[in-house]
Structure 1
Amino acid sequence: MDERRGKAPEIHPSSIVSSRARIGRGVRIGPWCSIGPDVEIGDNVELISHVVIDGRTTLGDGVVCYPFTSVGMAPQDLKYRGEPTSCMIGARTIIRENVTIHRGTATGTGLTRIGPDCLIMANSHVAHDCTLGRGVIIVNNVVMGGHVVIGDDARIMGAAALHQFVRIGHAALVGGVCGVEADVIPYGSVLGNRARLVGLHWIWLRRNGVQPEEVRRMRQAFRALYPKAAHATGAVFQDRLEHVRQTYADDARVVEILDFIAAPSHRGLVRVQSGDMIESDGA
C-alpha cells in the first residue's frame, strides 16, 4: 500500500487493501471492504463497510461510500475485453447504499467520470463512459445506459431510466419513473412514462439567485421555442430557433439552451407534446 505522508489511514482488519493501492491522509476504511491495486483514494475518504473499489479508479478528497457500493468494476458491455479503462469520482461526492458505478470502455471515452459534490442515492446505476457534472443529484433506483452525459446541478428523480447516449443539460429536472429516450435541454423539466418537455426548472432558477427579469426573459424565449400550438405560428422549429437566437443573443442562459440544441446528438431532443401545459409554476 502506497501511503501518503500525514495522518495514517484507519483500515479495519477484515478489509483487503492491495499493497499497490495509493491511500490518502485521514482515510477511513471500514469492515469487509476490498481495494484493488490500481485504485487511488484521496484524503479524508470514508468507506463505511462492504465497499468494493476496483480497476483504475480514483476517489477524490472527502468522498463517502456507503455499504455495498461497487465502484470501478468492469463495464456491462459484451465488447469489453479487459482494456485498462478508468473511473473517476469527484471530491466530496456521496455514494449511497447498493450503488454500482462501472469504468469506461475502449470503444467509448475510456472513462466514467462523476464530478465533485454529487449525491448518488441508493440502488442507482451509473454505466460505462457516463459523465456527470458538478452537484448532480441522482435519486434512488435511477438507471442509465452507457455514454450518458449529465450537466452540472441536474436532478434525476427516483426510478428514472436514461437511454444510452442521452444528454441531460445543466440544471435540468427529470421527473420520477420517467423514461428518457432523447436529450433534455439545459434548465428543462421533463415528465412522463416517456419523457416530454413540460417547462423549465423554475425552482432551481429561483433557488440559485437568477433574477426575476432574467427568469421572465427565459420564459419568453421558451414560449417562443415551444408555443402551445406550434402550427399556429407558421414556422418550423428551425425557424423558431433562429428567431430566438437573434432576439435573445445577450441572454447567456438562453444562448446556453440554444447551443445545447445545436450540438451533435445521438438521440435528438425531448419535445413538448401537443396540448401539454408547458408552464409548471402557475405563471
Structure 2
Amino acid sequence: MALIHPTALVDPAAQLDSSVSVGAYSIIGPGVTIGAGSSVGPHCVIEGLTRIGAGNRIFQFCSIGAVPQDMKYAGEPTELHIGDRNTIREFCTFNLGTVQDGGVTRVGSDNWVMAYVHLAHDVQLGNHTVLANNATLAGHVEVGDWAVIGGLTGVHQFVKIGAHAMIGFQCHVAQDVPPFMTVDGNPLAARAINATGLKRRGYSPERIALIRQMHKLLYRSSLPLAQAISAIAALGEQAPESQLDVQMMLEFLAAAERGIVR
C-alpha cells in the first residue's frame, strides 16, 4: 500500500499486486485486478470488471473499463482484459464488451498505445501493435499482431485489420485490411506491403518476396478475388517456408465479412 498515493481511492475489493503503484487522485473500482509491476498514473479511472496484467504503464487521465458507448447496453456484467507490458498513454478510453459479442474487450501484450486512443466495446487488439495518437477503433474491430494504425485514423465497426498491416495517417478504414499490407488515403487504397516492418521482425528475403507476390495477385493482377485467392493458395505449395504466411492470408480472406480494401 506504500505505492498508493494517499489521495487515490482504491476500493477494498480491488485486487492489486503489492508492487502496483497508483498516482494521485486516481480511482480504482471493486471489480478491478492489476498484476505485478503495473503503474497507474494520476487522475485515472479504472472501473468495471477489468483485468490488467503485469508490467503495464497507464499514464494520466485515462478512462479504463467504462461501460460501452452502445445504446443496447443494459448493465450486463461484461469485461475488459488487458495483457502484459502495454504502454497506454494519456487520455485513452477503453470500454467493456457487450453481450451482443463475446462480452469481453481484449488487449494483448506489448502494445504501444499513444494518447487519446479509443477502444470501443468488444475490440480485439493483438500483441506488439502500435496505435498512434487519436486512433479510434469502433465496436467489434479486430487488429492482428504487429499492426500499426496511424494517427487520427478511424476504424469502422466490425472491420478486421490483419497482422503486420500498416494503416497511414488520418485514414477512414471501412473495409478489412489484409495481413502485411500498407494502406492509406481517402478513399483507402492498398499501396504496397509493409516491407520495412517485416525486415525489422526478421523475415527472410524469400518470405518477403512471396508476400510481394500475394500483394501483386490481390492488387496488381486484375484477377477477380476468387481467382486471386486460388493463385495465392498455389504459392504455398511452391514455397514450403512461406506456408504459414500464405495460410494467414487465406484464413483472413475467408473470414473477411466487409470486403477487403482493393
Please classify the TM superposition score into its range, dividing by the shorter chain length: over 0.9
1:105 aligned to 91, 98, 103, which one? 98
- Structure 1 position 260 matched with structure 2 position 248: no
- The 1:266/1:241 distance shift into structure 2, 3 A limit, reads closer
Structure 2 letter corresponding to 1:258? L
In structure 2, how many angstroms separate the alpha carbons of the residues matched to 1:244 and 1:82? 45
Are 1:9 and 1:24, in contact at CA under 8 Å, matched by a contact in 2? no
Structure 2 letter corresponding to 1:237? L
In structure 1, how many angstroms separate the alpha carbons of the residues matched to 2:98 and 2:247? 33
Partner of 2:260: 269
In the TM superposition, residue 237 of structure 1 has moved relative to its aligned partner by: 2.0
Partner of 1:211: 204
In structure 2, how many angstroms separate the alpha carbons of the residues matched to 1:213 and 1:247? 12
Are 2:190 and 2:219, in contact at CA under 8 Å, matched by a contact in 1? no
Structure 2 letter corresponding to 1:244? I
Q: How does 1:14-163 map to 2 (within 5 A)?
A: 14-163=7-156
- The Cα offsets for residues 200-223 of structure 1, whole Å up to 9 and x where unpaired, read as 111111111111122112212321
- The Cα offsets for residues 150-203 of structure 1, whole Å up to 9 and x where unpaired, read as 001100010110000000001110001010001110111110123211111111
Are 1:60 and 1:90, in contact at CA under 8 Å, matched by a contact in 2? yes
Structure 1 letter corresponding to 2:252? F
Structure 2 letter corresponding to 1:114? V
1:189 aligned to 182, 186, 198, which one? 182
- Structure 1 position 238 matched with structure 2 position 230: no
In the TM superposition, residue 42 of structure 1 has moved relative to its aligned partner by: 0.6
- Unpaired runs of at least 5, structure 1: 1-7, 272-283
In the TM superposition, residue 240 of structure 1 has moved relative to its aligned partner by: 2.2
Which entry has the higher C-alpha Rg, 1 or 2?
1
Are 2:47 and 2:65, in contact at CA under 8 Å, matched by a contact in 1? yes
Identity across matched positions, percent: 38
Equivalent position SS for 2:70:
coil
Count of aligned pairs: 258
In the TM superposition, residue 9 of structure 1 has moved relative to its aligned partner by: 5.1
Equivalent position SS for 1:247:
helix
Are 2:92 and 2:118, in contact at CA under 8 Å, matched by a contact in 1? yes
Equivalent position SS for 1:71:
strand
In structure 1, how many angstroms separate the alpha carbons of the residues matched to 2:62 and 2:145? 23
In structure 1, how many angstroms separate the alpha carbons of the residues matched to 2:218 and 2:135? 29
